[in-house]
Amino acid sequence: MSVTMRDVAARAGVTPTVVSRVLHNKATAIRVSEATAERVRQAAKDMGYRVNVMARSLRERHTQMIGVLHGIGFARAQFDDGSRYFASLMDGIVNGAFEHGYSVTLCPKLLGQSPEDAMSDGRFDGLVWYSTFPSGENRRMLEQCSIPLVLIHTRASEFDNRFCSVVCDNDQGIGLGIDHLIGLGHRKVAFALDGRDEFGEVHERQAAFVGHLARHGIISSREDVINIGPNEAGLREYFARGCRHTAVVGPNEGVAGSFLRVAPDFGIRVPEDLSVVGFDSTAYCNEFRPRLTAISQPLVDMGRCALDLLIRNISGETLTSPQIVFPCGLDVRESTAYIAL
Amino acid sequence: MSVTMRDVAARAGVTPTVVSRVLHNKATAIRVSEATAERVRQAAKDMGYRVNVMARSLRERHTQMIGVLHGIGFARAQFDDGSRYFASLMDGIVNGAFEHGYSVTLCPKLLGQSPEDAMSDGRFDGLVWYSTFPSGENRRMLEQCSIPLVLIHTRASEFDNRFCSVVCDNDQGIGLGIDHLIGLGHRKVAFALDGRDEFGEVHERQAAFVGHLARHGIISSREDVINIGPNEAGLREYFARGCRHTAVVGPNEGVAGSFLRVAPDFGIRVPEDLSVVGFDSTAYCNEFRPRLTAISQPLVDMGRCALDLLIRNISGETLTSPQIVFPCGLDVRESTAYIAL
DNA sequence: ATGAAAGCGCTAACAA
DNA sequence: TTGTTAGCGCTTTCAT
């Protein structure tokens, strides 16, 4: 059994009240004589006293902890598995949290079973939820949330602006990619997806793809959308029937990477025969040969921003502009080139 | 204010005790009539009741949370910053924790200020401490730890086998690297370090380096240790004075990577003029040109193992073999080649 | 300047 | 089968 406040009080010859005041109540105006204070501090030190944060949290009704959740229907993101997407986001989140004196915790069973628990079981002062797909189930859950929450990669409007949200400018980002490709002479440009996430950001990016091509006078059709499918089967099928495009834009690094990986099997060279543009642009892009050109979003900054917003929320501030949109960039690497003449 | 057990009890016309039993006491033999139980469940659902985990934790004296700490003197590891070392380790730790129903939390101010708090403030049921350098300060802290703790990358013997520990076989790993190099014809092999961590694993790896060269009849001297220093200044100095070795082994990916990065500036080609071997072998190795050959340690498995050990510890088991040693492997990539004749 | 008492929300031993 | 009571360790009025 560990030493409690009562123990320290006993040894110092005072009551727990005094111990609490001396040890944790620095801000308050209530004074304790320096002699007593010193006696208490010494006793605490001698006995190796530590507050019990559970008791404190129960009493004070806050925990200095924030939780990180993700939407139903997604496997837990790995820190090290292909794209550094989650790793980057988390670096921003954790750094932000630490600076504000908050811990951040990752919870099990937050996909499917009962994420709603974490939202109101007193464990967290606030939550960061990142998900690209506000399904009915997700929506229902979030609506019940009783603590501050900020969304990453979901538009605030999806939830009637009830929560703050941090997103990147998908439209502008895709525009950057399309402009780059058009500038290289490409006219037959495809959009790829893997069919797993058709409603969230991927959808937005696909719409942007169509829009920006149109801006350049190119009308894209259903034929220009390649669903690589599970295990890249759809991609192989596409290649097998002859590559009908000179460039392709993927909505993330994984999908774009599939093209780099599979193309050689069909004698297609990147970027000579096919230019490939990905999205996110984490360090993962450098692992490909050729290195993957990609539209970047400032993931670390976005995580950080989400956290700042959350802290302000927790502090009782009501944010007026519930959505922060970060502009994208374009990192030209080696997977895009002038179209072969 | 959120709804409490008392509220639910009131609505269901029973006492909090009954609610507690119905909602959370499934395993116990105490019976509640099905009618009452149903009434309670309905009331809880109607009112959107959630346990308060702080109250529960305070009462039950466990939190289902484990903390991840690292030693004093190290900056917090980033998930996405060069080597995927920390990311991989964390994947193992988090996956393990989740499977056992534990959350994992990262705490601020755990380097320098007061890591000891996390060790006994009731916040965690157990701790994973990863650090390569058991300084006096770290040692003092760990000795005060009042909850189960497992070490990663620190030998159990450093703390009188008081804690379990998970390490990789540095000697065997370095042996693999040296054998590889010798097999390629190298005789003039250097060991590199960056002077920041001379006492922990790096030290062990350096000793192994000397030993394994000796096994091949090569006596290495102080001249064969290259301290690349801050900002690679030492490395540039080394190259400037003419590269005296045909191969170099680095104790991690960062140091080895420095050679790949700086060598071209001095007209030295890797691997034609200089073979480079790193340690850890995370995906980061693939970001280098040429890709970095490296000694691998199964980081994900090690993190996972640490967690399994920790959970067993928490469950009251006293582990008999306090140290698990994982064998290393060698991932030959592109930075090593036969010595030029 | 210090202490007494109440209570945060929950669970468990004991009683009925 | 259900209720009573006590208490986990802490902070906070409100006395003194």
Residue A93 at interface with chain B, using a CB cutoff of 8 Å: no
pLDDT at A110: 54
Query: Average of pLDDT values for B311-332?
Result: 91
**Residues A216, B269: Cα–Cα separation, whole Å:** 45
Q: Are residues A54 and B123, on separate chains, in Cβ contact within 8 Å?
A: yes
CA quadruple A197, A199, A204, A208: dihedral, nearest 10: 80
pLDDT over threshold 70, residue B216:
yes
Residue nearest to nucleotide D1 (CA to C1'): B32
- For B66-75, how does the pLDDT look when each residue is reduced to its tens digit (9 = 90+)? 999 876 666 6
Query: Contact at 8 Å (CB) between A18 and A36?
Result: yes
Residue nearest to nucleotide C7 (CA to C1'): A59
**Residues B185, B275: Cα–Cα separation, whole Å:** 11
Domains of chain B: 5-51 (1.10.260), 65-169+299-328 (3.40.50.2300), 170-297 (3.40.50.2300)
Cis peptide bond prior to B108, omega within 30° of 0: no
pLDDT at B95: 93
pLDDT at B73: 65
Find the helix or strand (DSSP H, E) in which A308 lies: helix A299-314
Partner-chain residue, chosen from A48, A98, A106, that has the shortest CB–CB distance to B144? A48
- Alpha-carbon distance values, B154 to B108, B171, B320 (Å): 22, 14, 17
pLDDT over threshold 80, residue B108:
no
Find the helix or strand (DSSP H, E) in which B151 lies: strand B149-152
Cis peptide bond prior to A290, omega within 30° of 0: yes
Cβ-Cβ contacts under 8 Å between A and B: the total is 140
Most confident range (mean pLDDT) of A92-106, A148-162, A280-294, B24-38 is: A280-294
Separation of A61 CA and D3 C1' (Å): 29
B211 CA: distance to closest CA in chain A (Å): 33
Query: On chain D, which bases lie within 7 A of the protein's CB atoms?
Result: 1-5, 7-13
**Mean pLDDT of all residues belonging to chain A:** 90
pLDDT over threshold 80, residue A280:
yes
**Residues B129, B142: Cα–Cα separation, whole Å:** 9
For residue B112, what pLDDT band results from cuts at 50, 70 and 90? very low
**Residues B107, A251: Cα–Cα separation, whole Å:** 34
A168 against A76, higher pLDDT: A168
A107 CA: distance to closest CA in chain B (Å): 5
Within 8 A of B127 by CB-CB distance, chain A residues are none
For residue A338, what pLDDT band results from cuts at 50, 70 and 90? very high
Find the helix or strand (DSSP H, E) in which B225 lies: strand B225-227
Interface test with B, best of A46, A57, A79, A93 (most B CBs within 10 A): A79
DSSP B98-129: HHTT-EEEE-SSTTTT-HHHHTTSSS-SEEEE
Query: Average of pLDDT values for B7-18?
Result: 91
Q: Return chain A residues 44..83 having CB < 7 Å to nucleic acid strand D.
A: 50-52, 55-56, 58-60
Q: Are residues A52 and B58, on separate chains, in Cβ contact within 8 Å?
A: yes
- Please tell me the least confidently modeled range out of A209-218, A243-252, A308-317, B316-325: B316-325
- Please tell me the least confidently modeled range out of A297-306, B67-76, B216-225: B67-76
Tokens at A24, concatenated: 């944790």
For residue A111, what pLDDT band results from cuts at 50, 70 and 90? very low
pLDDT over threshold 70, residue A114:
no
A184 CA: distance to closest CA in chain B (Å): 26
- For B158-174, how does the pLDDT look when each residue is reduced to its tens digit (9 = 90+)? 888 889 999 999 999 99
Within 8 A of A107 by CB-CB distance, chain B residues are 103
Query: On chain C, which bases lie within 7 A of the protein's CB atoms?
Result: 1-5, 7-13
Contacts of A233 (CB under 8 A, 6+ apart): none
- Please tell me the least confidently modeled range out of A74-83, B42-51, B104-113: B104-113
Query: Contact at 8 Å (CB) between A145 and A304?
Result: no
Instruction: Kindly state the greatest CA–CA separation across chain B.
Output: 91
Q: Which nucleotide is nearest to B40 (CA to C1')?
A: D2
pLDDT at A76: 72
Query: Contact at 8 Å (CB) between B194 and B278?
Result: no
- Alpha-carbon distance values, B313 to A62, A158, B69 (Å): 29, 45, 17
pLDDT over threshold 90, residue B330:
yes
Residue A2 at interface with chain B, using a CB cutoff of 8 Å: yes
pLDDT at B111: 39
Strand runs labelled E in chain A: 65-70, 103-106, 126-130, 149-152, 164-168, 189-193, 225-227, 247-249, 275-280, 293-296, 323-326, 329-331
pLDDT over threshold 90, residue A340:
no
The distance in angstroms from the start CA to the end CA of chain B is 79
**Residues A55, B311: Cα–Cα separation, whole Å:** 24
CA dihedral sign of residues B213, B217, B222, B225 = negative
Mark B267-289 as b/e (b = at least 16 C-beta within 10 Å): eeebbeebbbbbbbbbbbbbbbe
Q: Are residues B51 and A121, on separate chains, in Cβ contact within 8 Å?
A: yes
Torsional class of A109: left (φ above 0), alpha (ψ -120 to 50), beta (otherwise): left
Contacts of B182 (CB under 8 A, 6+ apart): B216
Tokens at B302, concatenated: 């090690």
For residue A199, what pLDDT band results from cuts at 50, 70 and 90? low
Chain A, window 30-69: residues with a beta carbon less than 8 angstroms from a chain B beta carbon: 48, 50-55, 57-58, 63, 65
Query: Average of pLDDT values for B333-341?
Result: 91
**Mean pLDDT of all residues belonging to chain B:** 90
- For A306-327, how does the pLDDT look when each residue is reduced to its tens digit (9 = 90+)? 999 999 999 988 887 789 999 9
Tokens at B83, concatenated: 């080597």
Q: Are residues B106 and A103, on separate chains, in Cβ contact within 8 Å?
A: yes
CA count, 13 A, side-chain hemisphere, A161: 7
B340 CA: distance to closest CA in chain A (Å): 26
For residue A332, what pLDDT band results from cuts at 50, 70 and 90? very high
pLDDT over threshold 90, residue A94:
yes
